[in-house]
A and B are shown apart, each in its own frame.
Chain A
Amino acid sequence: MSAERGLCAYAITRGARWDLVGSPELRAAGPPELIRHDGLALVVTEVDTALFGGLDAEEPAEDGLLATLVRDHDAIVRAVFEHEPVLPLRFGTVVADEPAARRLLSSSCDEVTRWLDRVAGHREWGVRVDHGAQPAEETPLTGLSGADYLRRRRQSRLDDRQLKDHQSDAARALHSALVDLATDVVHRIQRPQTLLDAAYLVPEPNEDAFRRAAAELGEEARGRGATVHATGPWPPYSFTRLELGVTG
């Protein structure tokens, strides 16, 4: 194996005796394979590591290399997720070769098995609520005295604060209903205008109730001018804060 070849690793799953049924359609990666060891399986494709050298975050275009590789990553993780609980690995994880893959599985076996048991039967759903401005009123400023203008400015700033409070209340109500239906929740990195950006790990029997609550209370927040963006179902991407250290 030349120095530039490696195994791009996407996920760890249980090492059941199945092949990737209906292998996903990939744009850049070759067909995924499972490397099994100690009851676990690492999902990999063989790659030329130089491929990642062309990545550029500046312009994430729909047909760019980054988008292509990220879509492949997601397609492979989802293909596994349809059959078995899956632990997604960080995008751009490349291991040296098959012995390295086996070492990874044997040294992380207990931790990964516990993690897979915990997320089994769950899917991730995302909800983000952003503060929305009130529709701007088209008030002609001509003919307005200075005092009137300042009064109006003060009034509209008060309204803005009230509006933001109302939207925050709606976001809190939405979150508290959703969190009751979830096994776990992760708050994601927030943008300046974000009132709520959370990922929920939802057990499948709760999914209908979760979607209903998200729709109803999301509508409530929208009614107050906030924007609500819900996504899912996802593999449990946001619940993967663990580090698998391989030594020796």
Chain B
Amino acid sequence: MTENTLVDLLDRIVDSGAVVTGDVIITLAGIDLIRLDLRLLLVGIDESL
């Protein structure tokens, strides 16, 4: 199959993964916003990177 591009990688990783909640977590400011922005961006672009 084809070589993974950066778009494939972002598409795979940014929205996936088990979510950990609770007081063991250090909340990173803005990371959820980045996820959302990136999702919108990925839906809009093609393999142009």
Contact = CB atoms under 8 A, between A and B. Distances in A.
Contacts of A89: 17-20
B4 A231 contact: yes
Interface string B7-27: 011101111111111111110
A191 B9 CA distance: 17
Contact of B26 (A94, A189, A240): A94
A245 B39 contact: no
Interface in A182-239: 189, 191, 211, 214, 229-232, 234, 237-238
Given A55-B31, A231-B4, A240-B16, A247 B22 contact: yes
Majority secondary structure of chain A interface residues (helix, strand, loop or mixed): mixed
A52 B31 contact: yes
Contacts of B9: 67, 70-71, 74
Contacts of A100: 23-24
A129 interface: no
A77 to B, nearest CB: 8
> How big is chain A's contact interface, by range?
35 or more
A94 B2 contact: no
A224 to B, nearest CB: 19
- Chain B CB count within 10 A is highest, among A60, A70, A87, A232, for A60
A36 interface: no
Given A92-B28, A231-B4, A237 B37 contact: no
B42 to A, nearest CB: 8
Contacts of B20: 9, 89-90, 93, 95, 104, 243-246
A53 B34 contact: no
Given A56-B34, A234-B12, A67 B6 contact: yes
Interface of A: 6, 9, 12, 49, 52-53, 55-58, 60, 62, 66-67, 70-71, 73-74, 87-96, 100-101, 103-104, 107, 125-126, 189, 191, 211, 214, 229-232, 234, 237-238, 240, 242-247
Given A52-B30, A244-B18, 19 more contacts: A49-B28, A53-B28, A66-B10, A67-B10, A70-B13, A70-B14, A74-B12, A88-B16, A89-B19, A90-B20, A92-B35, A93-B17, A94-B28, A95-B25, A104-B22, A237-B16, A242-B18, A243-B18, A245-B22
